[in-house]
Amino acid sequence: MVVKQLSVFLENTPGRLFAVTSALAEKGVEIKALMLADTADFGVLRLIVDDPEKTLKILQEKGFTVKITDVIAVEIHDTFKEMQRILELLSKKDINIEYMYAFMGGAPGKALIIFRVDNLKAASEYLKEEGIIV
């Protein structure tokens, strides 16, 4: 399914990640998945949360630079072979993966992969046609 992801731009300094998570914890926001990437000067925290609009407002009020992006969430069996199948399917359709990250799913033996791709609609429809839980 297409889900809303928040990207939070953070200075690469001690305590910035804690400042984000503390602000969200204070307001009862549930973080479902996160990924942090860094450069020398700043980091990008990507979050999947239970209420993206509420989270956007909270973080903006705290002075963070935040944007919402649509991404695809795919549920797979927790195996490398399953992930490889998704990558092959997207490759065959010439869909570019800008980035991805994975986390353990709610069900035993399942994992969820978050994809940011260049054509969300085509990727989502194609994966569904191929029997992938999107």
Structure tokens at 25: 């914890």
Tokens 């705290």 correspond to 62
Tell me how far apart the alpha carbons of residues 53 and 74 are, in angstroms, rounded to a whole number. Answer: 22
- Contact criterion met (CB below 8 Å) for 123 and 57: no
Which domains can be identified in the chain, with CATH numbers? 2-70 (3.30.2130.10), 71-129 (3.30.70.260)
Strand partners, 97: 117
Tokens 């490889």 correspond to 84
- Contact criterion met (CB below 8 Å) for 78 and 110: yes
Looking at residue 13, its pLDDT comes to 87
Residue 42 identity: F
Looking at residue 42, its pLDDT comes to 87
Work out the angle between the directed axes of helices 80-92 and 120-129 (0-180°, nearest 10). 120
Q: pTM score > 0.75 for this model?
A: yes
Looking at residue 41, its pLDDT comes to 80
pLDDT digits (tens, 9 = 90+) for 24-50: 999 999 999 999 998 778 899 999 999
| Burial of 122 per CB tally in 10 Å (0-12, 13-18, 19+) | middle
Tell me how far apart the alpha carbons of residues 65 and 42 are, in angstroms, rounded to a whole number. Answer: 12
Say whether pLDDT at 93 is over 80.
yes
SS3 at position 106: coil
